[in-house]
A and B are shown apart, each in its own frame.
Chain A
Amino acid sequence: MAGFDFAVYISVFLEMMGSILWLLVALAVLGLAGFVYVIMRDGTIHSRRLLRAEILGVFGGFGALALMAYVTLSGFTDAGGPVDWLLIGIIWGMGLVGTTILAYAVMGIFDIMRGRVPGRAGQAA
């Protein structure tokens, strides 16, 4: 087997998703940037906000699996071997991490805009 070429992956993903690929890459980058910004601004990770984001992330993981099943015309009994469970884990994990980061960033920016510190509701920052 010949080696892999990152540019080929890009072209395959472009064929699959069109220019929306770049929009989604931008969304992921913005989500991450927001996450980093909120942490820098707060100077810490607020555990309560993180916990809320993680709870949303768990649902995001299951949402990712449901959507994957939908787009691939699959059912919930189709996993046939170890690699399938690995893939399911990866998809769930990606849904979890993506949703958590995005949710934390959004909640953080919301808190910053309202001048709130999570965990001490009502107390001004």
Chain B
Amino acid sequence: MEPLKTSPPGPAGLDRRTLLKLGAAGSVLAGTAGLGAIPARAQAPGRVQSNARIAIVGAGAAGLSMASRLADRLDGAKITLIDARKRHLYQPGYTLVAAGLKAQEYPISRTEQYVAPGVDWIQEAAEEIDPDAKKVVTDSGQEVAYDYLVVAAGIHLDYDALEGMETARIGQEGLGSHYMGPEAAYATWREMSRFVETGGTAVFQRPATEMKCAGAPLKYTFLTDDRMRQNGSRDKGHIIYAAHTDNLFSVPIVHEKVRMLFDDRGFDVRYSHVMTGIDLGSKEVHFDTPNGVEKIKYDFVNVIPPMRAAKVVRDSPLPWQDDSAWARDGWVEVDKHTMRHPRYPEVFAVGDVAGVPKGKTAASVKWQVPVAADHLVAAIADADSDAYYDGYTSCPLITQMGRAMLIEFDYKNNLTPSFPGVIAPLEELWITWVMKTIALKPTYIAMLRGEA
């Protein structure tokens, strides 16, 4: 199998005309589901007059979406986005790039495309957040004073916590890591496609920390399996999935379904294996297990590192202050239903950096942001808001090329299907795949613009 060099066949040179003729039905049905059925915008009352200064740290999915929503609802407020990153990365696309289904450029666009009119964007990294003095300091020393702060600083991929890991070697000698970015995802695809040809042992895992999209490690295992099956080389490959606990997914009913599918696909599942390091020379992954350290040799590995809050947040007083793992990893202390900081009520956190029990996904962002925005606007207007986030998140869990399960759930581990009786949550369906491949990204981009 030739690694994909530029645009894969299909949507890259998307004949958009076909979409109107063909995609309408599927997309209308499906496009709204992957990020959760689209909430009505019409709830927004009239614009609120204010001269409040609102700083938003982080211009990723959550920060941009929040800026768009606030700009839409406030008149006269000074909204400032703080982030040095010029590129915007559509992270749900990484799995598709790493499986050779989309080109390396697919997730990449420019942040400036999504900055709402009237929002100032300081193109510098936030160096310090001082919630007592109500200011953010950028890496050039610029001080941004605020009345309200939205923390959307995202996640730090802590590769340094894995002994022996060298990110510069991703894409060489069987080392993949599709979370690091579009380039790493593409490099991972090159290694995966080599493995599909040569066979051997593939090792997949996930970290023991909170993480972005807990479905992605599973998807990628399924996709590697499917690539081998399509290539006729599945019998040459031994696929090991190392779960960090005694389950494959934190929602019990989803775990059971995935366990059955993994069994069906012939994966070798190792529970309670937490990756601690890697030996790139001898090609061994090191795991901490109940029986001590275990080393597993690999021919291909997809390393997913521990994840923590962005450094600027960890160094601030905003994270949880107890002795929990959440506090250690620096996730921002917030009320899980309002996204508001209990100790600093003028501070909100949305997106990956928020210390809430479930879902660091774009779908979570889509549902957290309107709630946080509503509470923030209500605070400005000296009013109350009854907006409430129940932990909804979703994951189109790809199980093979052409099929996925639309998994939607909340804080209580309840399944919350958007289309009960139509799109069954634990069924491998083409419609869910259609949604993932063509309808999710437009929905996501509409979300960045505050339109979905």
> Could you tell me which A residues sit within 8 Å of B by CB distance?
1-5, 7-9, 11-18, 20-21, 24-25, 28, 64-65, 67-68, 70-75, 77-81, 83-84, 87, 90-91, 94-95, 98
Contact = CB atoms under 8 A, between A and B. Distances in A.
B260 to A, nearest CB: 15
Given A71-B19, A78-B401, A78-B430, 7 more contacts: A15-B442, A16-B439, A18-B16, A68-B23, A75-B401, A83-B423, A87-B25
Contacts of A77: 402
A15 B446 contact: yes
Given A71-B15, A79-B430, A12 B22 contact: no
Nearest to B29: A87
A78 B21 contact: no
Contacts of B416: 1
A72 B442 contact: no
B422 interface: yes
B221 interface: no
A12 B446 contact: yes
A65 B25 CA distance: 12
Most buried by A among B22, B27, B31: B22
Contacts of B21: 24, 64, 67, 94-95, 98
A74 B402 contact: yes
B430 A8 contact: no
Given A7-B41, A24-B17, A16 B424 contact: no
A8 to B, nearest CB: 5
Interface stretch (B32-40, B51-59, B69-77, B337-345): B32-40
A25 B16 CA distance: 13
A70 B434 CA distance: 11
Nearest to A89: B25
Most buried by A among B19, B32, B445: B19
Contacts of A18: 16
**Complex A-B, nearest 4 residue pairs according to Cβ-Cβ distance, in ascending order:** A78-B402, A15-B442, A2-B39, A90-B25
Contacts of B84: none
B193 to A, nearest CB: 16
B431 interface: yes
A14 to B, nearest CB: 8
A72 B20 CA distance: 14
Contacts of A25: 20
A73 B401 contact: yes
Contact of A94 (B24, B39, B43, B401): B24
B438 interface: yes
Given A2-B37, A5-B42, A12-B442, A20 B17 contact: yes
B41 to A, nearest CB: 5
Most buried by B among A68, A70, A91: A68
Given A71-B10, A73-B101, A95 B22 contact: yes
B449 interface: yes
A94 B11 contact: no
A15 B445 contact: yes
B427 A4 contact: no
A74 B10 CA distance: 10
B161 interface: no
Contact of A74 (B24, B43, B434, B445): B434
Contact of A83 (B11, B422, B439): B422
A78 B403 contact: yes
Contacts of A95: 21-22
B429 interface: yes
21 contacts: A2-B40, A4-B38, A7-B41, A9-B31, A11-B451, A12-B446, A13-B442, A16-B442, A17-B16, A20-B20, A67-B15, A67-B18, A70-B9, A70-B10, A71-B22, A75-B402, A80-B403, A81-B424, A87-B26, A87-B431, A94-B22
B451 A20 contact: no
Contacts of B442: 12-16
Contact of B418 (A1, A5, A20, A71): A1
B10 to A, nearest CB: 5
A71 B18 contact: yes
B272 interface: no
B289 interface: no
B133 interface: no
Given A11-B452, A15-B445, A81 B427 contact: yes
B428 interface: yes
Contacts of A3: 39-40
